[in-house]
Amino acid sequence: MPLKSRIPYSYINKDFLVLVIAITISLVILFSNKSPSVLKLKHQVIWVLGKLSSPIYWYKNLLIIKEKNKLLKDEVMRLTLLNSEMIGYHRENIRLKELLNFKQKDSISYQIARVIKYQLGVTNHSFNIDIGFLESIEKNMPVLDENGLLGKTIYVEDNSAMIQVITDKNYRVSIRVGNERVLGIFMPTHGRFGILEGVRKTTPLLKGDIVYTSGISEIYPPNIPVAEVISTSQTLNDPFQTVIVKLLAELNDLDFIFVIL
């Protein structure tokens, strides 16, 4: 064998390479378990990685903050105008409710949290946030971003919590959709897409219709936007229609999220 072709291999540390491969395979197997020990270990690893990488995120955030600020100012202006319009509607709504003798519902309270961006595990999707028990966070609290439902808390410690993302294959949400507000179940399929199960064939649905939480579940309050309808299709033998939806929550660039208390 010519010397040239041997040289690249001589630089490879075979011992270390084998160790890395063995550790990687073991960790993949270990983290694919669902036991409480592994869940806690996963949480601890994510927490440590998050702490270690926080300077990098701080630096990255610094770079994009100007651009984000400009966009936010635009958004603030738009929302201010919208708000003034909504205040009018709100007053009108109160007056109409009084006329109809409706009971006042409590407004939803929430906590803002910063996302520690790390995902571990083979099949499940999760991330950590920097608030926990001490900020009144508990297990099974809904988590949103500014666009819609993002997931729920599945593991909580004093100063951090683990969030199960709505794209997790095991995730299910009871929803209402369409002008008739019919009930259905949201199931994630791939990436930001999912399907609605149990929506009757006779329910008229349009592309762009927003899917909201039904409020039937003990976890999610009603009327949280979840997804928008992308397409619908029907088959002869099935009493339900197939509704494909796209999640509203932004999953790729998470920074701050809201936990509903």
Partner 1 sequence: MRNKFNISIIFFVLLVFCIQILLPTITFLKFSLVPDVLIVFLTYVGIYKYRYETVIISFILGLIQDFSTQNELLGIMAFSKSITGYGLGTLSLYIDIWSVYFRMLFIFVIFSIHFFIYNFIKMNSFAIPFATMMEIVILNSILSFFILLIIDKFIMKNSISKK
Interface ranges with partner 1 (CB under 8 A): 14-15, 17-19, 22-23, 25-33, 35-41, 44
Amino acid residing at 81: L
Q: 157 in helix, strand or coil?
A: coil
Nearest approach, Cβ of 29 to partner 1 (angstroms)?
3
Nearest approach, Cβ of 15 to partner 1 (angstroms)?
4
Strands 256-260 and 126-129: unpaired
Concatenating the DSSP letter of every residue in 183-240 gives EEEEEEEETTEEEEES-BTTS---TTPEEEE-S-SSSSPTT-EEEEEEEEE--SS-SB
Q: What are phi and psi of 136, to 5 degrees?
A: 65, 20
Nearest approach, Cβ of 30 to partner 1 (angstroms)?
3
Q: Which residue has the tokens 């409590």?
A: 106
Nearest residue (CB) to partner 1, 27 versus 112: 27
Nearest residue (CB) to partner 1, 27 versus 79: 27
Nearest residue (CB) to partner 1, 17 versus 65: 17
Nearest approach, Cβ of 50 to partner 1 (angstroms)?
18
Nearest residue (CB) to partner 1, 35 versus 104: 35
Nearest residue (CB) to partner 1, 35 versus 84: 35
Nearest approach, Cβ of 36 to partner 1 (angstroms)?
4
CA atoms within 13 A on the CB side of 83: 6
